Amino acid sequence: MTNFKKNFVAVFVLFLCGVLTFPAVAQDDHAHIKIDVERTIGEVDSLIYGNFLEHLGRAVYGGAYDPDSPKANDKGFRKDVIKASKELNVTQLRYPGGNFSSNYHWKDGVGPEDERPNRMELAWSRLESNHFGTNEFMEFTRAVDAKPYFTVNMGTGSMTEAQQWVEYTNVESGPYYAELRKKHGYEEPWNIKYWSLGNEMDGFWQIGHLNATDYAKKARETAKVMRLTDPSIELIAAGASNFRPDANPMHWNRVVLEELKNVVDYLALHIYVGNPDDNYYNFMSTPLVLEERTKIVEGMIRDVMSRADRGDRPPVKIAWDEWNVWYRARAGDSMTGDRALEEKYNLEDALVVAGFLNAFVRNADVVKMANMAQLVNVIAPIFTNGDDMYKQTTYYPLQLFSEYTYGTALDVYVDSETYDTDQFFIGLGESQTQQDNVPYLDVSASYKDNGEVIINVVNRHKDQAITTDIISQKGEFSGEFEVYEVNGPDVKANNNFKETKVKTEKKSSIQADGSEITYSFPAHSYTLIKGKIKTE
């Protein structure tokens, strides 16, 4: 045996025995985001950037509608709220509730103002003047360039009442309620396309609460007369909102889908999350709960659609038509009256909102509508008091997404460090959950035909920036990439009438030329990166 072979064998034996070790090869400690424009999910629907205006607290009166304010226009709408709503790019607005809708009779809110009755408002314990109703809401939606989405009363209301509302709003002329609209000064129909068959009818708190079978029967017959009045409308069924331990939300969803599979166009789901235990990392994981529920319902839809007879209509889609952070203003006096649900948001709330929006984009093939509840004052991104107004922290991620994130959602590969949560409640009364392997980087991306790519990244890490290699696996990054960041001095930072601690800042652009960009995402931040991928 040669000396070389003898020395090699001796070294190898020492290595096996653990006496000798070889120096470790340096590892890349960067996180990785891989973008492939051919790995697509579905088209991002603009309706996911919807909002909500309910007769609740100061959402309508003193929020959107405040005739006595010097900020009001000639219709009584606050001009500052209109401007902020337009800048938020609200695509559609849900009305008139919410819980309010289950005891609301639309005829109370039309016609001469001095002839409209005052009513006891039973859902939120207020007096309802009905000065703001169908036509005022429609004028407001036009002022903010949004589409209307109406919820009919499936609690104390009847199918006839729902049919007559469609007649009033959508039929050009002839029948009584179409002519009544014209008598009220609105010659042309409003042509409202989206109608929800009630609100949260699975909830024991709902006026007129039903079990799943009874709800489906009532919804089917109500849908029948509404569609006979206007065949062009799209209908949304009330899916699960009750996720308390003693509820069976997926049973509700299954029954409603089976019974209405040939009738409705969307199934509505609701979720509210919070951080009552002040556990930042648990809270940051809550959008994953929404994503889990989305996947479960998506599987149900696929199963039920295999037995459906929908003609040329597409399969049922998911509408997350109520979602938000809501936990501080959720007990006692803060739940009712004229100052109800006035949640004040901080940076960690804004990051969770960005996480929800990422989840909608990642599920763009089935989530085709979403409504943050609500627009102004009530758990809202816009807050007024007297003649002042400011934008809450949650305004800024909503604005960035709705401004830029369109096109085809991409199936993005993300490799970053992870963490595990404790068992915790995501919201008031909800069942416990636990999340394992939560990635610190939460990512979505979309791609347009013109080559523009949008990358949305939430860095959930509370203390550390995460240096990340962003890799294009099909084509090369090219030219200037704009960078926008929502952040603040700490996760509890909030905005108020005097100062804005959390907002969007445009950062230094990235000059890209090749298949890789490296960027360090700051701690507790949401970042949007916009640029071009050249595929030829």
Active site residues: 200, 322
Do residues 441 and 465 make contact, with C-beta atoms less than 8 angstroms apart? no
Helix residue ranges per DSSP H, 65-211? 79-87, 134-143, 159-170, 176-183
* Secondary structure class of 71 (helix, strand, coil): coil
- Contact predicate 155/98, CB 8 Å: no
CB atoms within 10 A of CB 159: 18
Indicate the residue type of 316.
Answer: V
> What is d(CA 140, CA 147) in angstroms, rounded to the nearest whole number?
10
For tokens 């304010």, the residue is 69
Pull the structure tokens for residue 307.
């037995």
Q: Rounded to whole angstroms, how far apart are CA atoms 130 and 115? A: 10
Q: In whole angstroms, give the CA distance from residue 54 to residue 61.
A: 10
Cα distance between residue 165 and residue 504, in whole Å: 41
Q: Are 287 and 277 in contact (CB under 8 A)?
A: no
Instruction: Name residue, tokens 């709003």.
Output: 169
Ramachandran bin of 125, using left for φ above 0, alpha for ψ from -120 to 50, beta for the remaining angles = left
Strand ranges (E), 67-156: 92-95, 119-121, 126-128, 147-151
Helix ranges, 208-346 (H): 212-229, 249-260, 280-284, 286-305
* Cα separation, 455 vs 532, whole angstroms: 11
Name the strand (E) or helix (H) holding 240: none
Q: How much of the chain is in helix, strand and coil states, percent to nearest 5?
A: 30, 30, 45
Residue located via tokens 């860095």: 459
Number of other CB atoms surrounding residue 471 within 10 Å: 17
Both tokens of 535, joined, read 């595929």
